[in-house]
Structure 1
Amino acid sequence: MLSFRSGWGKICISLLNCRLSFFCSAMKHTVLIFDSGVGGLSILQEVRQLLPNLALSYLMDNAAFPYGVQPDDVLLRRIVNVCCSAVEVLQPDLLIIACNTASTIALPALRQQLSIPVVGVVPAIKVAANSAPGGHIGLLATPATINRTYTDDLIAEFASGCTVHRFGSSELVLLAEEFMLGYDINSALIEHVGKWIDSTPTMTHVVLGCTHFPLLNPLLQRQWPKIQWIDSGNAIARRVQQLLPVILDDNKSGELQLLWTDAKQMPTAAETFLSQMGPISHAAPLSVKEFSYT
C-alpha cells in the first residue's frame, strides 16, 4: 500500500508539473516593436530590462527611412501595410509603435485594423512639466512632431505653466543612426544641439521626443550634465507590463528576432545592438503586403 501511495503521489506531482508547464508557456507573450530605423531600440531596451522573459521582435522599415520628412498620407498607408504584414507573419500578442511620428499618424488606423493591443509613444511633456513647474523645459524632436497640433495640445494640457522651447531636428536622427554604426559624432552633436541650448534660457529638463534620441543619452548627459534628459521608454515598458501579465523566470530570457524591409540593406547596427542582449533566433527581411483600411 505504501508503494501504491508513493507511486500515486509521483503521478500527481508529474501531472501538476505538466499543468504548470502548460500554464507558464501560455503566459510567455511575444511583443513586436516597430520603427523606421534604430530609434525603437531605445524602447526595446527598456522593455527588455523590465520584462526579460518576453520574446521581442524588432521590425525596422529601413526601406522608407526616415519617416519625419514624408507626407502623412503616404506614411499612413506605409505604416499600416508594414505593421499588418509583420503581425500576420509573427502573430504577436502586442504591437509597440516605437516612433513618435508613426504614433501620431497611424495609431487609430492600426487599432481598428488589428485585434491585438497597439501601444504608441508620445513626448513625455507631462513628466517634464511636473518635474519643473513654472520653469523652462525643452522639447527635442523631429520637425514633424514639433509642428503637430497633437504636440500643441499636449503642451496646452500638461505644460501650460511652463515655457517650452522646441527644437525640430532631422539631422539628429541621422546622427543617432551613425552613432549606432560606431561613428564619432560628438563634435557634430555638440555643434548642432549646443546652438539651440545656448540660444535659450537655462532649461532644467529636455524631453527627447523622438525614440532615436535616447540612444544619444550618454553623449548628451556628458556634455550637458545639469539638464535632465527625459524620454518615454520606461513608461512604455510599464504599459506593456500592465497589458501582458508574465511569469518571471530568472533562468530564461525571451528570444529576440530582427526583421527589416529593405532586402538589400542588412541593418548591422540593430543586429549588433540586439546581440548584446542575447542570441538572435531569427533575422530576415520582411515581405510587405497591401492591406485595405478605412
Structure 2
Amino acid sequence: MNQKNSPIGMIDSGLGGLSLFKHIRQALPNEDIIYFADSKYVPYGDKESDWIVSRTTHLIANLVNHGKCKAIVIACNTMTAVAIETIRAQMNVPLIAIEPAVKPAVTITQSKHIAVLATATTVKGKNLKNLIETYAQDIKVSLVPCIGLAEKIENGKAHTAEVKDYLNNILAPLVEQKVDTIILGCTHYPFVSNTIQDIVGHDIQIIEPSEAVTAQLIRQLNQYHLSSERPNEGSHIIWTSSDPLKVADVTFSLLGTHLPVETTGF
C-alpha cells in the first residue's frame, strides 16, 4: 500500500506539542497531521514510569492502527525520557522523538552555565542525564523542575499574572547565577517563551528543539520515501481523550486558529 499520502501522527500528554506542530505544519504544508492530546491525563510529569510506558505505547499503536499514520512524532519530553526505548523496540514505523536541546546550548553558551526547564520526570530521567554527560561535561547545568507549569498552560493560563509570577520565582535565581542559556525542556514552555525572555532579559538565550525535530522528521520521510505527493494543503485534526470543547478553546488560545477536535475512545 502506498503510504505517502497517509497522515503524520503527533502525540503529547496535552497541547504543549502544538508548539512543535506549528513548525511542522509550516515546513510540510501538504502533509496531513493527526495530533493526539492525552489531555485527560496531563501532565505526565508526575506519573509513574510504568504507566507512562504503557500509555504511550497504547496511544501510538492506535495512531498507527486506527489513524493509519506513516510516521510518529513524540512531541513530549517526558514520553521520550521514559518510554522511547520500549517504543522503538515495538513499533515498525519511523519514530521522531524530542529531547532537551543540550547539545546546541553547549555550543552557544559563553558563561559555561546553562539551565534546563522541564517536568520533574524529565529532570530525573536518564535520557537528560545521558545528554548532559555526553555533551556538557565541562558546563554547569542547572536543572529546574517546573512543577505545575505545563498544567497551567494546558488550562489556558499561559498569558496570566499567575504564570508570570510563577516564572519570576523560578527564573530570578538563574539570572543571579549568570546563566546565559535556558533550554525549554517541555513542549508546553515555548508558549510562555516571550514572558521568560521579558523576565530574564535579552542577554540570555532561550532555545527549544522544534526546528531540529522538524528537520529530523523531513529526513525520515525522505529516507523511507514517505513524503506526501499531494499538491494541495494537508488537513489537520486533534484527537483527544478529554473534553473536545475545552481542548478546542485552549488550542485557539495557543495557536490563534481553529482546528477540528474529536474525542477518541483510547
TM-score (norm: length of structure 2): 0.87
Which residue pairs with 2:103 in the alignment? Answer: 126
Which residue pairs with 2:239 in the alignment? Answer: 259
Tell whether the 8 Å contact from 2:117 to 2:183 is kept in structure 1 after alignment: yes
Given the superposition, is the C-alpha separation of residues 181 and 128 from structure 1 closer, same or farther in structure 2, using an over 3 Å criterion?
closer
Once the two structures are superposed, what CA deviation does each residue of 1:250-286 show, in whole Å capped at 9, x if it has no partner? x732110110012577413454268745x64x52111
Tell whether the 8 Å contact from 1:134 to 1:163 is kept in structure 2 after alignment: no
* Alignment of 1:284 onto 2:247: no
Given the superposition, is the C-alpha separation of residues 155 and 33 from structure 1 closer, same or farther in structure 2, using an over 3 Å criterion?
same
Which residue pairs with 1:16 in the alignment? Answer: none
Query: Aligned partner of 2:38: which letter?
Result: D
User: Using the alignment, how far apart are the partners of 1:192 and 1:178 within structure 2?
Assistant: 20
Given the superposition, is the C-alpha separation of residues 133 and 153 from structure 1 closer, same or farther in structure 2, using an over 3 Å criterion?
farther
**Which stretch of the first structure deviates more once superposed, 174-183 or 27-36?**
174-183
Given the superposition, is the C-alpha separation of residues 264 and 131 from structure 1 closer, same or farther in structure 2, using an over 3 Å criterion?
closer
Which residue pairs with 1:222 in the alignment? Answer: 198
Query: Aligned partner of 2:264: which letter?
Result: L
Tell whether the 8 Å contact from 2:33 to 2:235 is kept in structure 1 after alignment: yes
| Counterpart selection for 2:184 from 195, 208, 221 | 208
In the TM superposition, what is the alpha-carbon distance from 1:223 to its structure 2 partner? Answer: 2.5
User: Using the alignment, how far apart are the partners of 1:275 and 1:90 within structure 2?
Assistant: 23
In the TM superposition, what is the alpha-carbon distance from 1:74 to its structure 2 partner? Answer: 1.4
* Alignment of 1:237 onto 2:217: no
Given the superposition, is the C-alpha separation of residues 91 and 189 from structure 1 closer, same or farther in structure 2, using an over 3 Å criterion?
same
Point out the structure with max Rg over C-alpha: 1
In the TM superposition, what is the alpha-carbon distance from 1:180 to its structure 2 partner? Answer: 5.8
* Alignment of 1:115 onto 2:95: no
User: Using the alignment, how far apart are the partners of 2:251 and 2:101 within structure 1?
Assistant: 28
Query: Aligned partner of 1:60: which letter?
Result: A
Query: Aligned partner of 1:258: which letter?
Result: I
Unaligned stretches of 5+ residues in structure 2: none
| Counterpart selection for 2:14 from 29, 33, 37 | 37
Tell whether the 8 Å contact from 1:125 to 1:154 is kept in structure 2 after alignment: yes
Unaligned stretches of 5+ residues in structure 1: 1-24, 289-294
**Runs of 4+ deviating beyond 6 Å:** none
Tell whether the 8 Å contact from 2:53 to 2:82 is kept in structure 1 after alignment: yes
| Counterpart selection for 1:188 from 165, 179, 195 | 165
Given the superposition, is the C-alpha separation of residues 268 and 180 from structure 1 closer, same or farther in structure 2, using an over 3 Å criterion?
farther
Tell whether the 8 Å contact from 1:133 to 1:162 is kept in structure 2 after alignment: no
Secondary structure, aligned partner of 1:34: strand
User: Using the alignment, how far apart are the partners of 1:181 and 1:132 within structure 2?
Assistant: 27
Which residue pairs with 1:13 in the alignment? Answer: none
Aligned residues with identical type, % of pairs: 23
Q: Give the superposed CA RMSD.
A: 2.5
Tell whether the 8 Å contact from 2:98 to 2:209 is kept in structure 1 after alignment: yes
In the TM superposition, what is the alpha-carbon distance from 1:156 to its structure 2 partner? Answer: 1.2
* Alignment of 1:86 onto 2:63: yes
* Alignment of 1:101 onto 2:78: yes
Aligned residues between the structures: 260
